[in-house]
Amino acid sequence: MRKKNLLLWISATLVYLFLYLPLVLVVVFSFNDSKLNAEWVGFTWKWYGKLLHNREMLTAAMNSLIIATVSAGVATILGTLAGMAMSQCRLRLLQFLVLSPIAMPDILMGVSLLLLFIMVNMTLGLLSIMLAHITFCIGFVALSVQARMSSMDPALVEAARDLGASPWRCFRDITLPLLIPGILAGALMAFTLSIDDFVITFFTAGVGSSTLPLQIYSMVKIAVTPEVNAVSTLLMLLTLVVITTASRLSPAIFRGE
Amino acid sequence: MQGKAWYKYLLSLPPMAYLLIFFATPTLIMLLASFRYAGEYGGLAPWYLHESGRLTLDLTLENWQRLLETDIYLRLFLKSIGYAVATTLICMVMGYPLALMIARSGRKNRDFLLLLVILPFWSNFLVRIYAWMIIFSPVGALTRMLNGVLGLIGMGPVTLMYSPTAMLVCLVYVHLPFMVLPLYANLEKHDLDMLDAAQDLGAGKWRRFWLITWPLSLPGITAGSILVFIPVLGMFAIPDLLGGTNGIMIGNVIKQQFMESRDWPFGSVLSMVLTVTAVAVVLLGSWLGRRR
């Protein structure tokens, strides 16, 4: 048997520390009774209390939730269709359209969508943000569904067909139930991607359609305040729950991407 | 089977139509916009000229000439590529041991260890930048400690915030999981019997690594490198928040052209150059992958 490699373990542990210490710091300082994020003074809830009375922040949170729910919903339907089509036959164009948005820098999608929306005289706002978010979410849902499809046993559908089930019945009673975990995981990913997106939202948002990341950006540009720590902590908590659930539902999609 | 093919195409129609409208079309508009004039109040000039009742599309090479007039933009691109290369290399050095450790640990721990890598990656992008703004802040513990030590040996105080170092640390922090995940996916598939065989034949630890694990993991490294390199190349938020005046990358200039100067044609030129670079990197990566 191979021995556990000590050097490997130490370096890996250091990398984990590098990944987590900054985030822990954000959480810790969100409970700190000092305006400066510099040293520990005492425990307080007051930054969370302040958040509750911050009108702009609450509106932004509401906007973020609406956008993420609608975008994730639409992207899940379109992404599931794309994923099913992709796993059943090689459609070069579809594959290209689904995968390229994932491979391009965000800023390009942001500015090109801005050009499109302005060209068709669309007012920038919640709708333009949703249309943009759906665009980059489709690929992630499609990949999740495709991964699930390829792990499915084709014999099941064939058997049902041989026993006289119609294609629709095959889909409803066999394919769809088996796909559900992949679809749900994709939907949760889309929801998180939408809630978290900053770059594409930055270019497609208009007056009065601020989202949480945009709000955080404008606060951070001015000054570092513990209120940002508090809202960051809440966002992290939300992501933690959603992503842990998604990875339970479909562990495969988080690996060989 | 007959009749099966058409419904697959039917399935693919809605997503295909959506992506054609909201991904392919905007990219084409951007290409056209790079040959257009700026509007009177910024943005783009109207697409068509109404001259003598006829609609004409009026194009210019002006914006592309502007790109080549000075070496400012060339240097900016080279600088951005430099940051992207440096970030990719550091991510590789830091991500490799982590991916290897996860791939070699027991089945039960693997999923959990992997989830630990994914979680920070899915936490908000701005929050992760903000965390480093706290760490590098002039009143922060790190800066004060460093300056305390530097003071003892008689060296002047330094600021960490708004420096290339701060930027690089944050770029690595944000993109590290992009390297770890594909590397892990590759390392996990290695046949460990090969390592045992090599050991039985007397190969030492490092020799086993360089002759077996490393060459086998090259596809994983290629995939990870592409996933890190491309987003770093187009980054604007990290230089914006941590880079200061010297830390400008190509993404910042694109953002500036679209939002502040409102010179959309020139912004489109820069975006097209970025698009071509990204596509070239992806093609290079898949060519490398196929050659092996």
pLDDT tens readout for residues B72-121? 899 999 999 999 999 999 999 999 999 999 988 887 788 888 888 888 87
What number of CA atoms fall less than 13 Å from residue B287's CA on the CB side?
6
In this prediction, residues A236-253 reach a mean pLDDT of 79
Model pLDDT, residue A1: 38
Answer yes or no: is pLDDT of B1 > 50: no
Is the pLDDT at A186 greater than 80? The verdict is yes
Residue identified by tokens 């510099």 is A38
Contact criterion met (CB < 8 Å) for A23 and B124: no
Percentage above 90 pLDDT, chain B: 34
Q: What residues of B are in contact with residue A196 (Cβ under 8 Å)?
A: 122-125
Sorted by where each begins, the domain ranges of chain A are: 65-252
Mean pLDDT lowest among A166-170, B91-95, B176-180: A166-170
Enter the tokens of residue B57: 């599309």
Of B36, B178, B127, residue with least CA distance to A23? B127
Partner A contacted by B108 (CB < 8 A): no
Question: What is the pLDDT, as a whole number, of residue B71?
Answer: 87
Contact B30 A112 (CB under 8 A): yes
| Span B124-153, pLDDT tens digits | 888 899 889 888 887 777 777 777 777 777
Interface touch B124/A216, C-beta < 8 Å: yes
CATH 1.10.10.10 fits domain A65-252: no
CA distance A121 to chain B (A): 12
pLDDT value of position B5: 62
**Maximum average pLDDT range among A22-26, A101-105, B270-274:** B270-274
**Res B2: pLDDT:** 42
What per-residue confidence (pLDDT) applies to B180? 92
Closest by alpha carbon to B174, among B96, B223, B239?
Answer: B239
Give the mutation candidate from A140, A146, A238, A255 for the B interface (greatest B CB count, under 10 A). Answer: A255
State the average pLDDT over residues A58-66: 93
- Of the candidates B97, B237, B278, the beta carbon closest to that of A8 is on B97
For A26, nearest residue in chain B (alpha carbons): B131
pLDDT digits over B199-257, tens only? 888 888 888 888 888 888 888 899 899 989 999 999 989 998 888 777 889 999 999 99
HSE-CB of B138 using CA atoms within 13 angstroms: 6
- 182-241 in chain A: CB under 8 A from chain B: 192, 195-196, 198-199, 202-203, 212-213, 216-217, 220-221, 224, 228, 232, 235-236, 239-240
DSSP label at residue B140: S
pLDDT digits (tens, 9 = 90+) for A102-126: 888 999 999 999 999 998 888 899 9
